[in-house]
Amino acid sequence: MKVFVTGGTGLLGNAILRELNAAGHATVSLVRSNYDSAIFEGIDTEFVSGDLLDHELMSNVIENCDAVVHAAGVIHLGWKRLQESMRVNGEGTQIMVDACLRHGSKLVHVGTVNTLAVGTREQPADESTPHDNAGGQVPCSYVLSKRAGVDAVKRGVYEGLQAVILAPGFMLGPWDWKPSSGRMMMALSKGWKAIAPSGGCSVCDVRDVAAATIAAVDKDVLSGREFILGGENVTYLQLWADMAQRFGRRAPLMRAGPIQRWAAAAAGDLMGRVFEESDCNSAAVKMSAQYHWYDSSRAERELGYQARNVQETLDDAAAWVRAKHM
């Protein structure tokens, strides 16, 4: 099978290309003209240089492929960059959908758990949990634009598209070249953080998510089916302690309380009005106070998804950060 992959320079896209190679599939990778060739070391792939938003180019590439794994996207947890996020995450996905419909190619769309419901400490969310559960997702640029992408896929399914929608949790692991989620580890490696966010997340290994992505390509799955690909549900307090320990740093003392959250949100938003919006803003603070805890039972049953022990993931992610970013 020949598979077109977008987002190959990113954490998940790069792992997917490696997994596809291991499974014996031929691949085509979308890259920009100035990509770093080291990112693709050890990967056997055909390169196509261009822009995700180039309708004609995407159609021409997909015409010669059996399936598409759409893993490219803008990740910004904030109020700004909405137009850019909607253009890439929304319009870019619509272009994939249109081309796959035109040429009869299967689409595996990589979304995020942030398009679904929010869980709680008492009850992790699954694919059927109402979207307004626990107050719902924070309607920031990332959430709105990724939901626009999922909506585009669902409309395509109604028109006859063969598609699977994947919703990974908080991914860590090797091949985080930019870095993306590795930024959290890098921040904790540089000094003691006394206060951790008050919520929690579902930590998964990028290699396990990549393996499930290949299963979604290979398996005959009901079109439009959504799958949560989560892992161990942990508080940020515990996660930060585990990350800090791997770099010889002290664990945080406490979770952020209402006053600390308000101060961080206010300061972040004030700085964002003057400068480019940073990772610390009121949207990100609100999201970090939620429990993005999830149940991956459907993916385990239907895709054979298996999440490895989180300590192994943290070990390998820390080793990657030390080797590539420190």
pLDDT at residue 35, rounded to an integer: 83
> What pTM did the predictor assign?
0.95
Model confidence pLDDT, tens digit, residues 65-95 = 999 999 999 999 999 999 999 999 999 999 9
Closest C-alpha to 52, from 30, 28, 36, 74: 30
Closest C-alpha to 111, from 158, 75, 146, 81: 146
- Domains and their CATH numbers in the chain: 2-325 (3.40.50.720)
Higher per-residue confidence, 295 vs 278? 295
Model confidence pLDDT, tens digit, residues 246-287 = 999 999 999 999 999 999 999 888 888 888 888 899 999 999
Residue 207 has pLDDT above 80, yes or no: yes
pLDDT at residue 256, rounded to an integer: 94
pLDDT grade for 107, boundaries at 50, 70 and 90: very high
- Give percent of the chain above pLDDT 90: 92
Model confidence pLDDT, tens digit, residues 177-188 = 989 999 999 999
Residue 326 has pLDDT above 90, yes or no: no
Average pLDDT taken over every residue of the chain: 95
Mean pLDDT of 119-142: 96
Residue 143 has pLDDT above 80, yes or no: yes
pLDDT at residue 270, rounded to an integer: 87
- Give percent of the chain above pLDDT 70: 100
Model confidence pLDDT, tens digit, residues 10-43 = 999 999 999 999 999 999 999 987 888 899 999 9
pLDDT at residue 34, rounded to an integer: 82
Burial of 150 (0-12, 13-18, 19+ CB in 10 A): buried
